[in-house]
């Protein structure tokens, strides 16, 4: 029974006969320590809901999510190349239901932080003691002239939220002729999945190599001057697909006029400040920002795009008892350019911090010392992968990036003066670990 139904039900009965109903309501209240509403059922929201129930079954947890099935963004580039079935990335919400999470498939339309209620499109209302927002991102299509949401759904998929657009892009790539050009336009950072566009370039090249399209070109038009795991990507691109002049993959940096400003959807042409690039498949990743439900509430205080939160708890710096996790938030050591990467693993880590914090709070215990970790694999060929790991602790109320527990896979072995190639077994292992990671995070969040 949904919250509003129950309340309406109790009210109606209370009007008919008072005493016994109040007793039922009180008995009910005595068993439940607190009500938490989680908005958004991606890796972050699902993990928060699950761990709240896991750590304290006396907490009433409602998860509100639009879709009945979740599709993982991590490893969805392998779907585009045709290497992975999208089914392996999909999961429903039965696992959470079994843990006692009340899963509601609906769209949140309004949040009242004063009355502490959440309203949905179908007219339901949910009261909360704590609200966890994990809304992901929404796209700013207007930032690229000529691009619209409708075009993204029909002919110019961004596929930056896995699902139908991933399959559409896969189809377009499969139909691309030899000698064709696949353009990936990267928005200014920070964006969801920092290494994603570059892994995508490799997966597209991998498809072309194995499908008789050795003359194909993958052109990355980038608004930025550097990117995540750059040395590892460039090494792999070079060795596997050819990179730069005459190679299959080419990268144009922001300061080299890489930023796409306008698109002509009819002629499949991208316009940068001074140049134009015609493609056969155009994959524009529009700039994005915190999901609109968080943004509309005024929580996106960082550059009007991302939600700032407190390091010890992930509570919004703007609204009490509202916690923002996942791609919508911003955190980490921003001053040293070591912010939280917008990744699934990071979202889950943040969700676990919120769960531990709320459970301590509702049980009148001191808040535990938080710790934030990230692991992110990129798969660039069947036997070539690599990763980055991050570790953050909180000291004196600030996030501290722990260098010793962070970093990318080695680019070379040996010494700086005498570098040696990294044995291939390392690259192969990380492809296997990427798959193991996926299966485990899906279970850790949703089962």
Partner 1 sequence: MRKQAMALTLFWLTGSAIAAMDIDVLARTCNNCHGVGGVSVGTSMPSIGGLPREYLKSVMKQWKNDERGAATMNRIVKGFSDDEIDALAVYFSKKRWVPVPQSVSAALLAKGKDAISENCEDCHGLTGSDPDEDAPKINGQWAKYMELELEKYRDDGFKMPHRKMKKTARKMKPADVPAAAHYYGAQSK
Task: Output 194 or 258, the one with its CB closest to partner 1.
Answer: 194
> Where in 342-371 is the site for partner 1 (CB under 8 A)?
345, 348-349, 352-353, 356, 360, 365-366, 368-371
Are 301 and 318 in contact by the 8 Å Cβ rule? The answer is yes
* Contact call for residue 85 and partner 1 (CB under 8 A): no
Interface residue with partner 1 among 177, 188, 244, 436 (CB under 8 A) is 436
Task: Output 337 or 365, the one with its CB closest to partner 1.
Answer: 365
* Contact call for residue 411 and partner 1 (CB under 8 A): no
Instruction: Find the shortest distance in angstroms from Cβ 429 to partner 1.
Output: 4
| Contact stretch for partner 1 (CB under 8 A) within 23-31, 179-187, 270-278, 383-391 | 383-391
Q: How many residues lie near partner 1 (CB under 8 A)?
A: 43
Distance CA 132, CA 320 (A): 11
Interface residue with partner 1 among 220, 260, 430, 446 (CB under 8 A) is 430
Could you give the angle at which helices 424-446 and 43-55 cross, rounded to 10 degrees?
60
Instruction: Find the shortest distance in angstroms from Cβ 443 to partner 1.
Output: 5
* Contact call for residue 389 and partner 1 (CB under 8 A): yes
Task: Output 132 or 285, the one with its CB closest to partner 1.
Answer: 132
* Contact call for residue 437 and partner 1 (CB under 8 A): yes
* Contact call for residue 333 and partner 1 (CB under 8 A): no
Instruction: Find the shortest distance in angstroms from Cβ 328 to partner 1.
Output: 20
Interface residue with partner 1 among 4, 14, 21, 54 (CB under 8 A) is 54
Instruction: Find the shortest distance in angstroms from Cβ 359 to partner 1.
Output: 10
* Contact call for residue 64 and partner 1 (CB under 8 A): no
> Where in 143-172 is the site for partner 1 (CB under 8 A)?
none
Are 347 and 42 in contact by the 8 Å Cβ rule? The answer is yes
Interface residue with partner 1 among 31, 404, 415, 417 (CB under 8 A) is 404
**Footprint of partner 1 on this chain (CB under 8 A)?**
51, 54, 345, 348-349, 352-353, 356, 360, 365-366, 368-371, 373, 375, 387, 389, 391, 402, 404-407, 409, 423, 425-426, 429-430, 432-433, 435-441, 443-444, 447
């Amino acid at each position: 029974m949904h919250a509003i139904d129950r309340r309406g039900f109790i009210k109606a009965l209370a009007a008919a006969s008072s005493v016994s109903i109040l007793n039922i309501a009180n008995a009910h209240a005595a068993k439940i320590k607190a009500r938490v509403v989680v908005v958004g059922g991606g890796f972050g929201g699902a993990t928060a809901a699950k761990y709240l129930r896991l750590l304290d079954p006396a907490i009433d947890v409602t998860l509100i999510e639009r879709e009945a099935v979740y599709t993982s963004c991590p490893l969805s580039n392998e779907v585009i190349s045709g290497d992975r079935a999208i089914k392996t990335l999909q999961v429903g919400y039965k696992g959470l239901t079994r843990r006692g999470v009340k899963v509601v498939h609906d769209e949140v339309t309004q949040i009242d932080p004063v009355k502490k209620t959440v309203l949905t499109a179908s007219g339901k209302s949910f009261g909360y003691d704590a609200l966890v927002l994990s809304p992901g991102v929404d796209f700013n299509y207007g930032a690229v002239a000529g691009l619209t949401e409708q075009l993204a759904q029909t002919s110019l998929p961004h596929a930056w939220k896995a699902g139908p657009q991933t399959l559409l892009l896969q189809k377009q790539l499969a139909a691309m002729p030899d000698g064709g050009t696949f353009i990936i336009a990267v928005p200014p950072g920070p964006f969801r999945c920092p290494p994603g566009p570059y892994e995508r370039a490799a997966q597209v090249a991998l498809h072309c190599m194995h499908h008789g399209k050795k003359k194909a070109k993958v052109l990355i038009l980038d608004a930025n001057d550097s990117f995540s795991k750059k040395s590892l990507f460039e090494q792999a691109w070079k060795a596997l697909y050819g990179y730069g002049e005459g190679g299959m993959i080419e990268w144009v940096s922001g300061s080299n006029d890489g930023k796409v400003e306008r698109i002509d959807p009819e002629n499949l042409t991208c316009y940068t400040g001074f140049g134009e690039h015609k493609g056969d498949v155009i994959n524009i990743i529009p700039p994005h920002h915190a999901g609109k439900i968080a943004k509309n509430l005024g929580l996106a205080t960082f550059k009007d795009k991302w939600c700032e939160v407190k390091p010890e708890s992930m509570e919004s710096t703007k609204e009490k008892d509202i916690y923002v996790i996942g791609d919508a938030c911003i955190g980490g050591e921003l001053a040293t350019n070591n912010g939280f990467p917008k990744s699934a693993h990071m979202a889950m880590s943040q969700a676990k911090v919120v769960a531990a914090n709320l459970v301590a709070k509702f049980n009148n215990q001191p808040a535990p010392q938080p710790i934030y970790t990230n692991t992110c694999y990129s798969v660039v060929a069947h036997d070539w992968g690599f990763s980055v790991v991050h570790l953050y602790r909180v000291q004196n109320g600030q996030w501290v990036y722990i260098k010793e527990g962070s970093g990318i896979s080695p680019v070379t072995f040996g010494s700086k003066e005498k570098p040696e190639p990294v044995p291939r077994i390392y690259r192969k292992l990380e492809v296997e670990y990427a798959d193991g990671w996926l299966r485990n995070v899906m279970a850790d969040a949703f089962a």
